Amino acid sequence: MEINIQKVLCPVDFSEASEHALRYALAFAQAYDAELQMLHVVEVPFLPSYATAGIPDLSLPVEHADGASTTAAWRVPAPADAGVG
């Protein structure tokens, strides 16, 4: 049974390990006369939710099926038990 590899996908993030993987993928693609495709991978940083921090919700207005729309709230009220008046 002959293996027919046409494309090789190599994820890259510009780290040292990624560089090694890219060299390996390139040699592998050349050995099989295959196309090498690279995918740049980026880790998304954790962003905390601002919904409970009193920061305004700047999202776009939402249109409902009945034609009504709601606008973004500019102030998130503090919880009643927080002692903030």
pTM for the full model?
A: 0.50
Report how far residue 44's alpha carbon sits from residue 24's, in angstroms, rounded to the nearest whole number.
26
H/E stretch holding 40: strand 35-40
Residue 14 belongs to a domain: yes
What is the average pLDDT score of the chain? 76
Instruction: Choose among 52, 18, 21, 72: nearest CA to 8.
Output: 21
Residue 24 belongs to a domain: yes
The number of residues making up the chain comes to 85
Residue 85 belongs to a domain: no
Q: Provide the domain count of the chain.
A: 1
Model confidence at 30: pLDDT above 90: yes
Cα separations (Å) of 72 from 52, 75, 82?
A: 15, 9, 23
Residue 68 belongs to a domain: no
Domain containing residue 14: 7-40
